Amino acid sequence: MTARETTMSASGILSSAQLRPFPLDRVQIGDDSVFARAKNQMLHLARVYPVDRLLAVFRANAGLDTRGALAPGNWEDFGHPREQAWGEHDYPGRENAQTANLLRGHYAGHFLSMLSLAYAGERDEALRAKVDEFVAGLGEVQRALAATGRYSHPGFLAAYGEWQFSRLEHFAPYGEIWAPYYTTHKIMAGLLDAYELAGSVEARDIAVSMGHWVAHRLTRLDHERNQRMWSLYIAGEYGGMNETMARLSVVADEPLFLEVARLFDQDDLIAAGVDRRDVLTDMHANQHLPQLIGYLHEYDLTGERRYLDAVLGLWDQIVPGRTFAHGGTGESELWGPPGTVAGDIGHRNAETCATYNLLKIARHLFALTRDARFMAYYERGVLNHILASRRDVDSDTSPEVAYMFPVNPGTVAEYDNIGTCCGGTGLENHVKYQDTIFFTSVHADADADADAELWVNLFTPATLDWREQRATVRMQSTQPLGGLTELRVDGDDFIDGATLTLRIRVPDWAVETPTLSVRSETAGGTTETITAPVDDGYLVVRRPWSAGEVLRIESRAALRAVPTPDDPALQSIEFGPSVLVARSDATTTLDLALAQRRRLDGSVRADGSSSIRGADAAEAVEAALRSEGAVHIAGVRFEPVWTGSDERYHMYVRASGAEIGFVGAETGVPVRVRHDGTSLLDDIWREPAPVTRADFLDRVGQTASAARRDGLLSHGELVEVLRAAATADVDGLGRHPGGTVIETDADAEVETGSATATQAVTWRESADAEGIRLVEWLVPRALADAPIAPSVAITTGMLPAPSGWFTEVPTIAVTADDLSGVGGLNVEVSLGDGEWMPYTAPFPLPGDGEHRVRARATDTSGAVGHAARDIAVDTGAPVSKATVRRLGSSVEITLTATDEVSGVERIQWEGPGTFWATFQEAFVRALSDDEQVIEFAATDRAGNEEPRQRLILPARGDVS
């Protein structure tokens, strides 16, 4: 009989947290929850996938019978046929070793965690039996490895030999080894989950034995060696070993394990986080994110504030400044510069593993601090990245999850991923959606006089067994497509009149504070509107409850265009918590007239809703999403990103449009831009954007005056813009009565930056004979009559790459408008500091390089309009090469690249058994019995990607 302890149904909880989750089996998500689809698909895989396949790589390594089972495949395969389970003393060296699949075992660890989580949530004894079978198999392997006497400690357990760890201690690069402690973490984490969630004592004992082996290896190394090891790209990646060792110290009551956890501290990263120094640019995101979870556990067990401060400081460098709309981060697994989202868009953004870990960090930080911003990120990431990362198909063999969930135009998610890192974390992601829906306050359990508190964090159909209060809480919600949620407090043994405190998160996407009401189904169905204070971003509803009462929460959603921090014109479309992606086969950025559809509450008018007002507009969007699965904007179909579709999508679109306009009010006036690319619409909606109609009219008067002075508007066009602004439905109340424009000799003064400008348009309200309020625009005569220089614009006919560079030579066109109407425009251009030349027709730039284009137009009155634009062009891809150095039966490969224009951004490579990784330093490949193909390519800072080159390594016997 399997030894078993009472299961906790939760793992990795911080003892110092102010809040804690409920056990997984106490919360059940409803069949009508959007999360149910992915959960059920993954539970199916958990039930049908054979444990023997997961144990195969371990059994083969230990010389045990694999029972004819195939390995899962991809990264999780058997390795090289001639590879042995070498120890640290019999490893033949990289000159003679033949290896492959050096991360094997990690996927099995994730699968054990998934089985344990699934059992904890479902209480399906068949799942627990699979946990026990899996653990027993690992125990057999550990004993078999120990019996060989080949390894440094009997606690060693892996699907390869111990040699990778000894080579790491001598700073071997990725290519010779592959993140051995990363794999150890996945195996140990799976075992800890099996103990904490499924009660397997054998799993705990195996993990404790592994912990002593880790301690044996690391305690004999000096501090400087450990620090250098953890700084190695991928080779030194250790997942969350500090978290696992800290958790194990509690489970085993072994202080040594906490000291070992601290040996994984990366001192420079902790110091940077504490000091809030940004050091993340070009760092491997998912190499370091799991460490932060470990630092929180170290804070929990030591009380040392620096660990918490480090995580908080690093979090603020990632969210939101390095976070895409769906919650993902990074490009090709590396972080870009701070505050850069648009500029970091490439072809392989947003590794799903990174969001898996960011959600864990956010969950812990929220439990520690009660700061609602962490739960706001959690909602964004779990819905729009994690749920979206599970393709909507059934499979008996594959997790069908995304590795990268990119954000470049017209892209697709990288689904499937058997055996990869994201395949492993994806196994876990989809069987624990219920773990963060509800929290409870720790003090409420500890203090008998304190009210019981329930924190409602996420809104989806779910049922909570709140047995401490003899209550069942049933949640129904129209989210994530609407804003209505109802919480029913019930229970056969619930004591009527019991005082409970319900804390309801105020979503950051809500247009206004949610409204509350309580309906009593036992008192004639009466409904009472209530109010509640907001504390820590949560509505606090404290009252006596009776069984059957329903708390109704109405949060008003809006269709929003959300700008990126580094390029406000590049925007994501969102409705409530859902990111909506454009479905289009185009692979260039879509241009849509979004500013012309914007309302004061930040919402964007969808197609077909011009006559729909206020909250009704949100209801129309919700209705369209429910009935058609999509909403249309400017003729483009947008649908939620989280559907699991494998169609092409655009997560970002560019706000543009040829004409100035407002909701329900067109002008016919063309959008003209200054040399810096800004337009009148940009000026009107710049942050902080106007929030009332009066603010809007003030802003229009100020910015239209500046546009007139800058040559972006003629006087007649100024009048059209003012009239349209007066009638526009920017407040959601419908079109307003038309405005009038009056010229006046009085000059108003407005603040424009640090200076005060005269000749500004102002407005006032008056009533007509029927008492209807009308807007009167007052335009200073000096502004109306002033000679206006010609408007000059330099355009390229194409957009640059996200990097800001043009990767094709653009054709330069100069347009000049005679806004004063005096005629006789003379248009000239100049490149750099060169001579002015007459402009007669569009012309191409001379080629690659950084060019400054200047243009001027002079009218017959002598007024001169100017424009200038800096344009960087790099049309050529970098050129890379491989240098190979023979090392016996292995080779050392060094990759270099050159780019004379924008410079080299990165070199990437992959070979058999590895993934498309960023080259950091020379790596070693063992020659095998067959030829090996190493592919590599460089990317420059402009975004040009070199075609993949191939380096063919000969078979071992072919080398003289």
How crowded is residue 314: how many other Cβ atoms within 10 Å of its Cβ?
A: 26
| pLDDT at residue number 213 | 98
Give the model's pLDDT for residue 756. 39
The CATH fold of domain 879-958: Immunoglobulin-like (2.60.40)
Neighbours of 472 (CB within 10 A): 18
What residue type is assigned to position 873 of the chain? V
Tell me how far the alpha carbon of residue 340 is from its chain's centroid. 13
Question: What single DSSP character describes residue 461?
Answer: S
Task: Note whether 45 and 396 are within 8 A (CB).
Answer: yes
Q: Which residues of the chain have pLDDT under 70?
A: 1-11, 443-450, 523, 609-616, 675, 746-758, 958-960
CB 430 within 8 A of CB 470: no
The pLDDT value recorded for residue 757 is 45
Taking the C-alpha atoms of residue 650 and residue 636, their distance in angstroms, rounded to an integer, is: 11
Helix (H, G, I), strand (E, B) or coil at 724: helix
pLDDT score at 8: 52
Q: Please give the structure tokens belonging to residue 80.
A: 């090289």
Strands (E), 641-718: 653-655, 659-662, 665-670
Report the first-to-last Cα separation within the chain, whole angstroms. Answer: 58
Q: Give the single-character DSSP code of 75.
A: T
Q: Give the pLDDT confidence score for residue 747 in this predicted structure.
A: 54
Reference 850, options 821, 833, 824, 873; nearest CA is: 873
Closest CA to 574 of 644, 634, 631: 631
CATH annotation of 791-873: 2.60.40.10
Q: In sequence order, what DSSP letters do the residues of 583-594 get, joined into one string?
A: --S--SPPEE--
pLDDT score, position 37: 97
Which residues pair with residue 756 across a beta bridge?
Answer: 751
Integer CA distances (angstroms), 342 to 321, 771, 882, in order: 10, 49, 32
User: For residues 71 and 56, is the Cβ–Cβ distance under 8 A?
Assistant: yes
pLDDT at residue number 533:
96
What is the Cα–Cα distance from 585 to 410, expressed in whole angstroms? Answer: 6
| pLDDT (0 to 100) of residue 585 | 85
* Sequence ranges of the chain with CATH classification 2.60.40.10: 791-873, 879-958
Q: Give residue 673's pLDDT.
A: 77
H or E segment at 164?
A: helix 163-168
Cβ contacts of residue 872 below 8 Å, gap of 6+? 800, 804, 805, 806, 849, 850, 851, 902, 942
Beta strands in 23-116 (DSSP E): 27-29
Consecutive H or E run containing 116:
helix 106-122
How far apart are the C-alpha atoms of 141 and 144, rounded to whole Å? 5
Contacts of 447 (CB under 8 A, 6+ apart): none
What are the φ/ψ torsions at residue 602 (nearest 5 degrees)? 90, -5
For tokens 């083969």, the residue is: 60
According to the model, what pLDDT value does residue 523 have?
Answer: 62
Cis peptide before 688 (omega within 30 of 0): yes
